[in-house]
Amino acid sequence: EEERREQLLRREEEKRRVQEEERREQEEERREQQLRREEEKRREQEEERREQQLRREEEEEELEQQLRREQEEERLKQDEEKRERQLRRQQEEERREQQL
C-alpha cells in the first residue's frame, strides 16, 4: 500500500513537472512569436518611413524642376519683350530719321 501510494505520488509529481515544462515551453514560444511580430512590424514601419521619405524627396525635386522651368520661361519671355522694345525703338528712330 505504501509503495503504491509513493508510486502514485511520483507519477503525479512527474506529471506536474512535465506540465510545468510544457507550460514554460509554450510561454517561451509565445514570447518568441511576439518578438517576431514586433520585429516584423518595426521593419514594415521603417520601410514605410523610407518610402515616404523617398516620395517627399521626389516631390521636392519635381517642384524644384517646375520652379526652374518657370524661371527659365519668365527669363525667355523678358528677353523677348526686351528685343521687341529695342526693335520698336530702332524702327521709330528710323522713321524719324526718314522724316528728316
Query: Hey, what's the torsion of the CAs at 38, 40, 42, 44, to 10 degrees?
Result: -150
Average pLDDT over residues 63-67: 98
Give the CA distances from residue 36 to residues 20, 63, 92, in Å, rounded to whole numbers and listed in that order: 24, 40, 83
Cut 0.75: pTM above it: no
pLDDT at 100: 76
Kindly tell me the sign of the dihedral angle through the C-alpha atoms of 30, 36, 39, 40. Answer: negative
* pLDDT per position as a tens digit, 69-100: 999 999 999 999 999 999 999 999 999 999 87
pLDDT at 80: 98
pLDDT category of residue 67 using cuts at 50, 70 and 90? very high
DSSP, res 17: H
Q: Where are the domains of the chain?
A: 1-100
* pLDDT per position as a tens digit, 10-61: 999 999 999 999 999 999 999 999 999 999 999 999 999 999 999 999 999 9
Euclidean distance between CA atoms 25 and 20, whole angstroms: 9
